[in-house]
Amino acid sequence: MDAIKLARLLCKEMEVVLLCKEGEFIHHSHQGVNIDYSLEPVAFSSRIFSLSMLLRVRSLIKQYSFDNVIFFGASELKTLYFSFFGFNLNLLIRHGTTKSKAKTDWFHRLIYSRVSYHIVLSKHLLNNVKYIVPDTDNVSYKIIHPSYEITSVKEPLAEPESKDKLFITHTGRVAPGKGQLDAVRACKRLYNKGVNFQFDILGGFEGDEYVEALNAEIGTDDFSSRIRVRGHVTNVTEYLQATDIFLFPSSGEGMANAFIEAMHYAAVCIVYDNTVFPEFIEMGFYLHLVKDGDVDALSQALIDVALDIDNEKQRSKVNIELTRYYFQVERELSDWQGILI
């Protein structure tokens, strides 16, 4: 999704060719869709090394005479090092997730030696990349915050009879580390306080065991009627506009799109104090950071916010203009133009 989004952004000002794996998500998502850039699927079977990828990419470089290559990923760089061999390319690697295993051996120093820029989404990811990736000669690092074209909807998604109901939302893959289990546990404390609320969990399912654990935590009693596990939805914006509290106890994010959108709609955001989230405080955003992994602290923060929701929503209005300032499309495009040749 990030690669598609960047291709759509950059093609406004330059010729863009999006290379993707044949038969996978990006390839399928473009079937029958009009686009303002070229799409070139590449067939390969191994992420470790693929001769077919090597030859196909070299052929495309010759065909299009690329000046810049922006690479999303990590594993395929082993093959791409040889694909790029002999070409004078401005190679940029865009990092969007936290990695744990350092890659500073001689082989990784070799394959990263062609990189001109490491592009990251946040200070947290910048520190992570400097730890993970070898610091090769003449490489530069740059933070480029993603941008969002956030629009409003005409009608909020809420039942007329639910004026006194508190709307809580979590958006993200229903998978380990995304925080739905902790969020449901915090909502149980809110339920025990007698607060009227609805908690919507939005996102596709990944991992049967985690989904089973989540369903078990929700249960089948009266509390379960407050929880709506909606799966993948296409109208996330409508939910966010109706949201009072965005409860997002993720174990760590690179730069969560839905979190930024929730702040734009002045939802009161409650998150764990990890990875990128403290940076939002530094930028001036109003949100609640609680001790990482502490469900009791998360529950208490949720209760405190719920019992003072009008004041909390008023304080959160500062986030509307801040999201427009930090995550504007023109700013991201300018940042990329400054390093592309």
Interval 208-243: pLDDT, tens:
899 999 999 999 999 999 999 999 998 999 999 999
In the chain, the amino acid numbered 272 is Y
Do 134 and 242 belong to one domain? no
Angle at 24 between CA 252 and CA 56, to 5 degrees: 110
Residue 111 lies in a domain: yes
Residue percentage of the chain with pLDDT more than 90? 81
Q: Which tokens sit at 83?
A: 């694909």
Q: Per residue in 107-119, is it b (16+ CB within 10 Å) or e — as a string?
A: ebeebbebbbbbb
Pairwise CA distance, residues 3 & 242, whole Å: 29
pLDDT of 252 higher than 60: yes
Token representation of residue 299: 């529950």
Model pLDDT for residues 157-175, shown as the tens digit of each residue: 444 444 689 999 999 999 9
DSSP secondary structure code for residue 232 in this structure:
S
Q: Tell me, yes or no, whether 115 lies in a domain.
A: yes
Based on the fold, state whether residues 168 and 199 are members of the same structural domain. yes
Mark whether 176 and 321 lie in a shared domain. yes
The rounded distance, in Å, linking the Cα atoms of 313 and 32 is 42
pLDDT tens per residue across span 13-60: 999 999 999 999 899 999 988 999 999 999 988 878 899 999 999 999
End-to-end C-alpha distance for the chain, whole angstroms? 24
pLDDT tens digits for range 50-82 = 999 999 999 999 999 999 999 997 778 889 999
Please tell me whether residues 166 and 141 are part of one structural domain: no
Supply the CATH number for residue 185's domain. Answer: 3.40.50.2000
Whether 154 has a pLDDT exceeding 60, the answer reads: no
> Total structural domains in the chain?
2
Q: Is the pLDDT of residue 152 over 80?
A: no
Q: Are residues 130 and 164 in the same domain?
A: no
Q: Are residues 75 and 170 in the same domain?
A: no
pLDDT of residue 151: 66
Same domain? For 182 and 45 the reply is no
E strands, the chain, in order: 17-21, 38-42, 68-72, 90-95, 115-120, 140-143, 166-171, 197-202, 227-231, 245-248, 268-272, 288-290
Q: Which residues contact 312 (CB under 8 A, 6 or more apart)?
A: 268, 305
Instruction: Give yes or no for a contact between 164 and 203, defined as CB atoms under 8 angstroms apart.
Output: no
Note whether 216 and 79 are same-domain residues: no
Question: Are residue 298 and residue 203 in the same domain, yes or no?
Answer: yes
Distance, CA of 303 to CA of 26 (rounded, Å): 42
The reply to whether 173 falls in a domain is: yes
Q: Are residues 216 and 78 in the same domain?
A: no
23 is a domain residue: yes
pLDDT of res. 156: 46
- The predicted model gives 180-191 an average pLDDT of 98
Phi and psi, residue 245, nearest 5°:
-130, 130
Q: What was the pLDDT predicted at 155?
A: 47
Structure confidence at residue 253 as a pLDDT band (50, 70, 90): confident
Phi/psi at 17 (5° precision) = -120, 125
Least confident of 74-78, 192-196, 273-277: 74-78
The pLDDT tens digits of the residues spanning 288-337 come to: 999 999 999 999 999 999 999 999 999 999 999 999 999 999 999 999 99
Cα atoms found within 13 Å of the Cα of residue 78, Cβ hemisphere only: 11
CA distance 184 to 170: 10
Would 267 be classed as within a structural domain?
yes
pTM of the model: 0.81
Block residue for tokens 């049967």: 208
Asked if residue 93 and residue 182 are part of one domain, the reply reads no
The predicted structure's pLDDT at residue 71: 96
Give the per-residue pLDDT at 163. Answer: 62
For a pLDDT cut of 70, what percent of the chain falls above it?
96
Domain that holds residue 72: 2-148+328-337
- Residue of 140, 89, 139 lying closest to 113 (CA atoms): 139
Tokens read off for 180? 């739905």
